[in-house]
Amino acid sequence: MSEIPLVQLLTPEGERVTHPEYESTLGKDEIFGMHRDMTIIRRLCNEATSLQRQGQLALWAPLQGQEAAQIGAGRALQPMDFTFPSYREHGIAWCRGIPPEKWLRLFRAVDHGGWDPQQYRHSVPTIVIGNQALNAVGYAMGVQRDGAEEATMVFFGDGATSEGDVNEAFVWAGSFDAPIVFFVQNNQWAISEPTVRQSKIPLYRRAEGFGFPGIRVDGNDVLAVHEVTKRALAHAREGGGPTLIEAFTYRMGAHTTSDDPTRYRIDADVEVWKHRDPLERVKAYLVRQHQVPASEFDATSAEADALAAKLREDVLAMDSPDPLSIFEYAYADVHPLIEEGKRDMIELGVGGGAH
Amino acid sequence: MAQMTMAKALNEGLRRALEDNPKVLLMGEDIGKLGGVFRVTDGLQKDFGEDRIIDSPLAESGIVGTSVGLAIRGYRPVCEIQFDGFVYPAFDQIVSQVAKLHSRSHGVYKMALVIRIPFGGQIGAIEHHSESPEGYFAHTAGLRVVSPTTPNDAYWMIQQAITHDDPIIFCEPKCRYWEKGEVDLDRPPRGLFDAHVAREGTDVTVIAYGPSVRTAVRAAEAASAEGRSVEVIDARSIAPLDFPPMVASVQKTGRLVVVAEAPANASVASEVVARLTEECFYSLRAPALRVTGYHTPYPPSRVEEEYLPNIDRILDAVDRVMGFES
Amino acid sequence: MWKVAVGDTIALNQPLIDIETAKATVELPSPYAGVVTKLHGEVGDVVPVGAPLIEIEVGGGDAAPLATPAEPATTPQGEGRTAVLVGYGVATNEGAPTRHRRRGGAVAPAPAPPAPITSTAPALAPRSTPPVRLYAKQHGIDIESIQGTGRDGLITRSDVERVVSGGTPRARSAPAAPTGVTRFVGHELAPWESGPKEERIPVRGVLRSMADAMVQSAFSAPHAAAWVRVDASKSVELLSALKSRPSMANVRLSPLTLVALALCDAARHFPGINSRFDDAAGEVIVRRSVALGIAADTPRGLIVPNIKDADTLDLVGMADALTTLVEKARAGTTTPNEMIGTTLTITNVGPFGIDGAMPILPPGTSAIVAVGQIAKAPWVVDDEVVVRHVVEIAMSFDHRCIDGALASSVLAHVGRFLNDPAPALLAR
Ligand SMILES: Cc1ncc(C[n+]2csc(CCOP(=O)(O)OP(=O)(O)O)c2C)c(N)n1
Ligand SMILES: [Mg+2]
Amino acid identity at A320? S
**Does the pLDDT value for residue A243 go beyond 90?**
yes
- Split at pLDDT 50, 70, 90, the class of C180 is very low
Q: Do domains B2-183 and B196-322 have the same CATH topology?
A: yes
Q: What is the pLDDT of residue C177?
A: 37
**Does the pLDDT value for residue C77 go beyond 50?**
no
Q: pLDDT digits over A142-188, tens only?
A: 999 999 999 999 999 999 999 999 999 999 999 999 999 999 999 99
Of C87, C109, C122, the CB nearest to B301: C87
- Of B166, B137, B172, the residue nearest B13 (C-alpha): B172
Return the residue of C nearest to A110 by Cα: C76
Beta pairing class for C25-29 and C15-20: antiparallel
Q: Judge contact between B146 and B192, C-beta under 8 A.
A: yes
- Split at pLDDT 50, 70, 90, the class of A1 is very low
> What's the A89 CA to ligand 1 centre distance in angstroms?
13
> What's the C317 CA to ligand 1 centre distance in angstroms?
73
Whole-angstrom Cα distance, residue A18 to residue A8?
A: 8
Q: Does residue A85 line the site of ligand 1, with CB under 6 A? A: no
Q: What is the pLDDT of residue A95?
A: 98
**Does the pLDDT value for residue B321 go beyond 80?**
yes
Whole-angstrom Cα distance, residue A46 to residue A246?
A: 26
Please, which chains are in contact with A (at least 3 CB pairs closer than 8 A)? B, C
Kindly state whether C104 is in contact with chain A, defined as any CB-CB distance less than 8 angstroms.
yes
**Does the pLDDT value for residue C105 go beyond 70?**
yes
Of A46, A56, A59, the CB nearest to C86: A59
**Does the pLDDT value for residue C179 go beyond 50?**
no
B326 C-beta neighbours (distance < 10 Å), count: 6
Q: pLDDT digits over B159-210, tens only?
A: 999 999 999 999 999 999 999 999 999 999 999 999 999 999 999 999 999 9
Q: What is the pLDDT of residue C108?
A: 54
Do B129 and C86 lie within an 8 Å CB cutoff? yes
- Of B165, B142, B193, the residue nearest B23 (C-alpha): B165
Q: Does residue A254 line the site of ligand 1, with CB under 6 A? A: no
Question: For residue B218, how many C-alpha atoms fall within 13 Å in the half-sphere facing its CB?
Answer: 18
Whole-angstrom Cα distance, residue C32 to residue C15?
A: 11
Strand ranges for C270-363 from DSSP E: 275-278, 283-286, 292-298, 301-303, 306-307, 344-348
CATH placement of domain B2-183: 3.40.50.970
Q: Choose between C9 and C148: higher pLDDT.
A: C9
CATH placement of domain C206-427: 3.30.559.10
CATH placement of domain B196-322: 3.40.50.920
**Does the pLDDT value for residue C169 go beyond 50?**
no
Q: Report the CATH fold assignment for C126-177.
A: Dihydrolipoamide Transferase (4.10.320)
Q: Could you tell me the sign of the dihedral formed by the alpha carbons of B87, B90, B91, B96, in that order? A: negative
Considering A109-123, C282-296, C305-319, the range whose residues carry the highest mean pLDDT is A109-123
Q: What is the pLDDT of residue A56?
A: 96
Whole-angstrom Cα distance, residue A77 to residue C230?
A: 117
- Split at pLDDT 50, 70, 90, the class of C167 is low
Instruction: List, in order, residues 6 or more apart from C227 with CB less than 8 Å away.
Output: C356, C392, C393, C394, C395, C411
Q: Judge contact between B318 and B230, C-beta under 8 A.
A: yes
Q: pLDDT digits over C218-242, tens only?
A: 888 899 999 999 999 999 998 888 8
Pick from B294, B311, B319 the residue to mutate for testing the A interface (most A CBs within 10 Å): B294
Q: What is the pLDDT of residue C62?
A: 58
Amino acid identity at C356? G
Q: What is the three-state SS of chain A?
A: CCCCCCECCECCCCCECCCCCCCCCCCHHHHHHHHHHHHHHHHHHHHHHHHHHCCCCCCCCCCCCCHHHHHHHHCCCCCCCEEECCCCCHHHHHHCCCCHHHHHHHHCCCCCCCCCHHHHCECCCCCCCCHHHHHHHHHHHHHHHHCCCCCEEEEEECHHHHCHHHHHHHHHHHHHCCCEEEEEEECCEECCEEHHHCCCCCHHHHHHHHCCCEEEEECCCHHHHHHHHHHHHHHHHCCCCCEEEEEECCCCCCCCCCCCHHHCCCHHHHHHHHCCCHHHHHHHHHHHHHCCCHHHHHHHHHHHHHHHHHHHHHHHCCCCCCHHHHHCCCCCCCCHHHHHHHHHHHHCCCCCCCC
- Which of A38-52, A251-265, C133-147, C219-233 is least confident? C133-147
What percent of chain C has pLDDT above 90? 27
Count of CB contacts below 8 A, B vs C?
Answer: 114
**Mean local confidence (pLDDT), A334-340:** 96
Contacts of B306 in chain A (CB under 8 A): 323, 326, 345, 350-351, 355
CA B194 to chain centre: 13
A122 is catalytic: no
Tell me how many degrees the CA angle A126-A45-C14 measures, rounded to the nearest 5. 145
DSSP state, C312?
G
**Does the pLDDT value for residue C116 go beyond 80?**
no
Helix or strand or coil: residue B156? helix
Helix or strand or coil: residue B3? strand
Check: pTM over 0.90? Answer yes or no.
no
- Which is the catalytic residue, given A35, A90, A251, A312? A251
Q: pLDDT digits over B1-51, tens only?
A: 899 999 999 999 999 999 999 999 999 999 999 999 999 999 999 999 999
> pLDDT averaged over chain A?
96
Q: Does residue B62 line the site of ligand 1, with CB under 6 A? A: no
- Of C394, C384, C317, the residue nearest C355 (C-alpha): C394
Do C24 and A58 lie within an 8 Å CB cutoff? no
Q: Does residue B82 line the site of ligand 1, with CB under 6 A? A: yes
- Which of A183-197, B67-81, C50-64, C323-337 is least confident? C50-64
Contacts of B178 in chain C (CB under 8 A): 22, 82-84, 90
Q: What ranges do the domains of chain C cover?
A: 9-123, 126-177, 206-427
CA C131 to chain centre: 20
Contacts of C12 in chain A (CB under 8 A): 312
Phi, psi of C93 (to 5 degrees): 55, 50
Whole-angstrom Cα distance, residue C278 to residue A115?
A: 86
Q: What ranges do the domains of chain B cover?
A: 2-183, 196-322
A255 is catalytic: yes
Helix (H) or strand (E) run with residue B239 in it: strand B237-239
**Does the pLDDT value for residue C178 go beyond 90?**
no
SS3 content of chain C, % helix, strand, coil (to 5): 30, 25, 45
- Split at pLDDT 50, 70, 90, the class of C384 is confident
**Does the pLDDT value for residue A18 go beyond 50?**
yes
**Does the pLDDT value for residue C406 go beyond 70?**
yes
**Does the pLDDT value for residue C159 go beyond 90?**
no
Of B35, B59, B306, the CB nearest to A163: B59
Task: List domains and CATH numbers for chain A.
Answer: 28-321 (3.40.50.970), 322-355 (no CATH)
Q: What is the pLDDT of residue C325?
A: 92
Helix or strand or coil: residue B216? helix
Of B178, B229, B301, the CB nearest to C84: B178
User: Which of A129, A132, A203, A250 maximizes ligand 1 atoms within 8 Å of its Cβ, making it the mutation to test the pocket?
Assistant: A129
Do B302 and A163 lie within an 8 Å CB cutoff? no
Q: Judge contact between B152 and B96, C-beta under 8 A.
A: no
Whole-angstrom Cα distance, residue A150 to residue B22?
A: 56
A335 C-beta neighbours (distance < 10 Å), count: 14
Pick from A59, A86, A128, A325 the residue to mutate for testing the B interface (most B CBs within 10 Å): A128
Kindly state whether C39 is in contact with chain A, defined as any CB-CB distance less than 8 angstroms.
no
Give the ligand 1 atom nearest the CA of A160: 15
Cis amide bond preceding C359, omega within 30? no
Q: Judge contact between C68 and C77, C-beta under 8 A.
A: no
Task: State in Å, rounded, how far the first CA of chain B is from the last one.
Answer: 47
Task: Give B226's strand partners.
Answer: none
Q: What is the pLDDT of residue C117?
A: 44
State the complex-level ipTM: 0.95
CA A176 to chain centre: 25
Cα→Cα distances C278→C271, C339, C343, C398, Å: 16, 19, 13, 11
> What's the A190 CA to ligand 2 centre distance in angstroms?
4
Helix (H) or strand (E) run with residue C50 in it: none
Task: Give C345's strand partners.
Answer: C293, C368
